[in-house]
Structures are given as C-alpha cells and as structure tokens.
C-alpha cells in the first residue's frame, strides 16, 4: 500500500507505547535477585518507566528500556549489572 | 454601500483586521508597526471587537501564539517590522510547513546594523523563501482591501499557508489617507468563518510537528510549492471577487500601468509605486515610451504575468529597496532567472533605490530611465546592480 504524505505532516495521534524504543539499547540491565532487597529505587529512577513489579519481584521491560544504566548506578546493593548487548 | 473616512494607514489595517473577525491577535510593539496593534487594543477596550488579545514578550512568541491558535482552529493575526519579523523567521518556516493560514502585517523597515527605523523591504524579502505568501501594497486603501483578501487566500483549502501583507513603514502606516471601508455584512459574506482541515482536538488527538526523513521531506516541501502555484490562480480569483464587491480593482498578481508600446518598463513594489506612476505620466507627456509593472504578489512570484506585460519592451528596470549582499536585488534576481534563455524578453537592469528610507522621487526615477536608455543605446548590458543616488563622497 502506498502511504501518501498528509497535509502539513499532521498525522493521526498514536501512543508512544507503539514505538518499542528498546532497540536503541547497547547495554541491558540484569537484576540479580539474590542481591535485590526490593527497595524500589530502580523503579523510581527509571526515565522510561521500564521497571515494573511482577509477583513481588522487579522485572525490566526490554521493549522500552534504552539501557541508560541509571537503575544500576542507583541500586544500593549493586544488584543490577549492565551487560553489553550482543547479536 | 460603503463608508469613506480619512484615517491613518495603521487604523485602516486595524479596521480591516477587525472586519475579518479574528479570534486571536498576538501583539508585540516595534516601530513602525505598533499603531496597528494599538488601534486593535483600543477597539477591544471600547467593546467594538471581541477577540483573544495576547500580549507576548517577543516576536518569536507573537508568531508562536498565532501558530498555536491557528492550529486550534482560530482565525489569527499579528503584525511586526524589521528585527521583529526576523525573530519570527523560525516560526514562519514551521508554520508554512504545518500549513497554518494566519495573516501577518509586515510593516517594512530596514534591518540593523546600522539601526534605523526607516523604510525599506529588506525585512520582508529575507522571508521570501519561508513558504509565506507575500503581498506588497501601494496605498492605505490597498492595504485595507488586501488584508481582507489575505485571510481568504490563506484559508483556501488548496493553499493553507500564512500570508504576509507588506506595507511601507511610516509612508503608509503613519500617513492619513482617504479610505473607503466595506460594510460588515459584505465582509462576512465574502469571508466565511474559518473551517480548517486539521485542528487540535482533544477528542481526536493528532501528531503535529512530526519528524520526516529523507524519504518524505522533499515531498512535503514540494507540496508547499504546489500550494504556491495554485495560489497564482486562486489569488487572482479572490482579488477579482473582492473588486466585484468594492468596485476597487487594484489588479491581479501585478498591475501593468501604461505598458503599451513602452520601451523601458519600470518594475517596482510598495509605496514607491505611486511616485513611479506620476513619473511615468510626466515622462509619457514628454514623449518617452515608459511604463510600469507593479508587483502586488511577490511570493508566489508571478513571472508569467510580468513577462506578459514586459515582453514588448526593450529594458525592464527593476527598482528595489532590498539587496542580497554579495549578489543583487532579490526581485531582479527572480526576474532574470525566469527570463534566462528566452528570446522574447527585454534586458533586465537592477536598480537599488530607497534603502533605509532614502527618498525615491521623480528625479530618482528620471535618472533610472535615463540610465536604462543609455544601456539601450550602447547595447552593453549592466551585470551589476546600480545603486541609485549613492553618495561616493562619503564612502570611507
């Protein structure tokens, strides 16, 4: 299908959830659950709201995590490790 | 039925804007534009005009406010001059790209440095590439009529671009002239309410100012050029429709004045045109074959109409109150570009006249015609712009 340009480049509003920005990441945060005290610092500082609580443990949503490393930097127990993304 | 009053040029513009029922006006003072927004402010204070009047902190904001309000489906207006118009530049390019049809009065004034408040066209000319339609007017009456036409042109669904009505500072804005005004009902039936294609709507959210890559950006820019090209047809229709109501026909994209049988045709725009008409009459009465083409619409550039008017002449002498540093005057450049390679066109000579308010009188015009005749007789074209009335004794 041919997508035609729109008047003034105005397009139907969509949600930023449609754009999976996790593809920009070059390092991924990995949580070591044995060290995690579930303090919630990582969830609080994540600029992309990509850290969630699921079944009382913290998980990272890699669809939106851009790998900025703030969570790892702020984690008081060094439970988050930044691992290079590899193909 | 119309009312005739003697008013200041700025008031004539304010009355035209009022008659167009703008929903948002942004205002920031700068000479010689300030009287226009002051007149509008007084109309609001006196209860004669109901509109959202936004006093902003810069011309960048003045343009941004009407960009936003136009996107919110409100007929919008502002006015500025000189440095103020330059400060709007970024927003004007963006507004043309977003296809927002507001109207701006560009009250012409020179640019710094050195700072001056006197008239020339450098400010408006510097915005010629932005995608804003630009009209130039000769009189306060033409300013009044052209503002009413401007909203209709801007809001045409095949155009949808900002329109700038350029009028010479002081000479038009601050002098008093006999102006004939339309009845409100006449304006209302000529200019229906603004119904945009796109508008900001919380019930139907859209993305404005989206990003475009190399695969589509060219097409968006081409779409603006297509709108400009359509404008050449539509502007004439709108002007002619308005002339039908008012009985005042200022011409189409250009006005050809005594061009029949002319050997030398002067090309000019703005208030100096009035003087040129008088000079042409005098020269004609002395047997000189001189005519005038007045450019009313500078962007889109109506080269077809100009060519049609000048093709029988031997020299087109472009008089312009602007200069593209390192090259020549913008109008001369435009015209030469379109004439290049044609065998039926006259020689074009570019004359720079009236920078910083320097008087352009019948003597000046006489000099220009004389120079054009010299070129004609010698057969040697002049490549460089001729700076008319330049005083070599004060050059350092």
Give B229→chain A minimum CA distance, Å. 16
Choose the closest CB to B223 out of A5, A12, A13. Answer: A5
Q: Are B279 and B340 in contact (CB under 8 A)?
A: no
Hey, of A2, A4, A9, A18, which one would you mutate to test binding to chain B, going by the most B CBs within 10 A of its CB?
A9
* For A6, nearest residue in chain B (alpha carbons): B220
Cis status, amide bond into B300, omega within 30 of 0: yes
In this structure, what token pair is assigned to residue B15?
């009355």
Closest Cα to residue B163, out of B322, B332, B335, B16? B16
Q: How many CB atoms lie within 10 A of CB A11?
A: 14
Test mutation, B100, B210, B226, chain A, max A CBs within 10 A: B210
CA distances (Å), origin B137, targets B150, B259, B391:
12, 20, 29
pLDDT tens for B342-368 read: 998 999 999 999 999 999 999 999 999
Residue pLDDT tens, chain B, 396 long: 579 999 999 999 999 999 999 999 999 999 999 999 999 999 999 999 999 999 999 999 999 999 999 999 999 999 999 999 999 999 999 999 999 999 999 999 999 999 999 999 999 999 999 999 999 999 999 999 999 999 999 999 999 999 999 999 999 999 999 999 999 999 999 999 999 999 999 999 999 998 999 999 999 999 999 999 999 999 999 999 999 999 999 999 999 999 999 999 999 999 999 999 999 999 999 999 999 999 999 999 999 999 999 999 999 999 999 999 999 999 999 999 999 999 989 999 999 999 999 999 999 999 999 999 999 999 898 999 999 999 999 998
- Per-residue pLDDT tens digits for B164-195: 999 999 999 999 999 999 999 999 999 999 99
DSSP helix/strand/coil, B318: strand
d(CA B363, CA B361): 5
Chain B's closest residue to A13, CA to CA, is: B206
Give the number of beta-carbon pairs within 8 Å between A and B: 38
Whether the per-residue pLDDT at A38 is higher than 80: the answer is yes
Q: Nearest CA to CA, how far is A18 from chain B (Å)?
A: 14
Give one DSSP letter per residue of chain A, joined into a string.
Answer: -PPPPPGGG-EE---GGGS-GGGG-SEEEEE-TTT-----HHHHH-TT--EEEETTEEEE-TTT-----HHHHH-TT--EEEEE---
* Token couple for B319: 């008089």
Q: Which residues contact B264 (CB under 8 A, 6 or more apart)?
A: B288, B289, B290, B291, B313, B314, B315, B317, B369, B372, B373, B376
- Spatial CA neighbour of B189 closest among B11, B13, B19, B3: B19
Lookup: tokens for B270: 């703005």
What residues of chain A, 5 to 24, have a C-beta less than 8 Å from chain B?
5, 7-14
Q: Nearest CA of chain A to the CA of B64: how many Å?
A: 16
Helix and strand numbers (H, E) in chain B are: 13, 16
Closest Cβ opposite residue B216 in set A5, A7, A10: A5
Beta strands in B243-353, from DSSP E residues, in sequence order: 254-257, 264-268, 290-295, 297-299, 315-320, 347-352
Q: Rounded to whole angstroms, how far apart are CA atoms B60 and B74?
A: 19
Residues of chain B whose C-beta is under 8 A from some C-beta in A?
A: 97-100, 160, 197-198, 204-210, 212, 216, 219-220, 223
Question: How large is the ipTM?
Answer: 0.86
Contact B206 A7 (CB under 8 A): no
Which pairing describes strands A80-84 and A27-31: parallel, antiparallel, or unpaired? antiparallel
Determine the 3-state secondary structure of B228 from DSSP. helix
CB burial of residue A26 (10 Å; 0-12, 13-18, 19+): exposed
Residues with Cβ within 8 Å of B364's Cβ and at least 6 positions away in sequence, in order, are: B353, B388, B389
Distance of CA B77 to the CA centre of its chain: 15
């Amino acid at each position: 299908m041919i997508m035609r340009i729109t008047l003034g480049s105005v397009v139907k509003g969509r949600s930023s959830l449609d754009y999976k920005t996790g593809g920009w990441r070059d390092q991924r945060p990995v949580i070591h659950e044995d060290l995690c005290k579930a303090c919630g610092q990582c969830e609080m500082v994540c600029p992309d709201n990509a850290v969630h609580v699921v079944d009382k443990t913290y998980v990272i949503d890699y669809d939106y995590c851009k790998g900025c490393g703030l969570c790892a930097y702020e984690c008081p127990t060094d439970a988050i490790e930044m691992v290079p993304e590899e193909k | 039925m119309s009312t005739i009053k003697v008013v200041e040029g700025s008031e004539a513009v304010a009355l035209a804007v009022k008659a167009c029922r703008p929903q948002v006006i942004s205002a920031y003072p700068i000479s010689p534009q300030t009287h226009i927004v002051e007149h509008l402010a007084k109309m609001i204070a006196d209860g004669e005009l109901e509109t959202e009047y936004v006093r902003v902190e810069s011309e960048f904001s003045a343009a941004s406010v009407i960009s936003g309000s136009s996107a919110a489906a409100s007929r919008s207006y502002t006015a500025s001059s000189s440095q103020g118009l330059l400060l709007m530049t970024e927003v004007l390019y963006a507004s043309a790209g977003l296809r927002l049809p507001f109207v701006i009065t560009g009250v012409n004034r020179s640019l710094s440095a050195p700072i001056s408040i006197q008239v020339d066209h450098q400010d408006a000319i510097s915005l010629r590439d932005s995608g804003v339609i630009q009209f130039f007017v000769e009189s306060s009456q033409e300013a009044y009529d052209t503002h009413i036409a401007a909203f209709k042109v801007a809001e045409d669904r095949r155009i949808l671009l900002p329109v700038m009505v350029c009028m010479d500072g002081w000479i038009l804005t601050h002098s008093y002239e006999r102006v004939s005004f339309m009845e409100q009902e006449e304006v209302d039936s000529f200019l229906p309410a603004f119904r945009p294609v796109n508008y900001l709507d919380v019930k139907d959210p859209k993305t404005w100012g989206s990003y475009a890559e190399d695969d589509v950006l060219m097409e968006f820019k081409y779409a603006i050029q297509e709108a400009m090209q359509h404008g050449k047809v539509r502007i004439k229709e709108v002007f002619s429709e308005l002339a039908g109501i008012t009985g005042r026909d200022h011409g189409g994209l250009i006005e050809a004045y005594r061009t029949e049988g002319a050997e030398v045709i002067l090309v000019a725009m703005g208030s100096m045109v009035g003087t040129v008409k008088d000079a042409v009459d005098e020269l004609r009465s002395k047997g000189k074959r001189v005519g005038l083409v007045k450019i009313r619409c500078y962007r889109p550039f109506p080269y077809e109409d100009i060519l049609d008017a000048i093709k029988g002449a031997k020299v087109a002498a472009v008089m312009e109150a602007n200069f593209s540093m390192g090259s020549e005057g913008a109008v001369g450049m435009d015209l030469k570009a379109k004439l290049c390679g044609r065998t039926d066109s006259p020689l074009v000579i570019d004359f720079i006249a009236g920078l910083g308010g320097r008087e352009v009188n019948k003597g000046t015009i006489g000099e220009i015609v004389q120079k054009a005749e010299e070129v004609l007789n010698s057969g040697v074209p002049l490549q460089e712009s001729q700076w008319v009335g330049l005083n070599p004794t004060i050059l350092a």
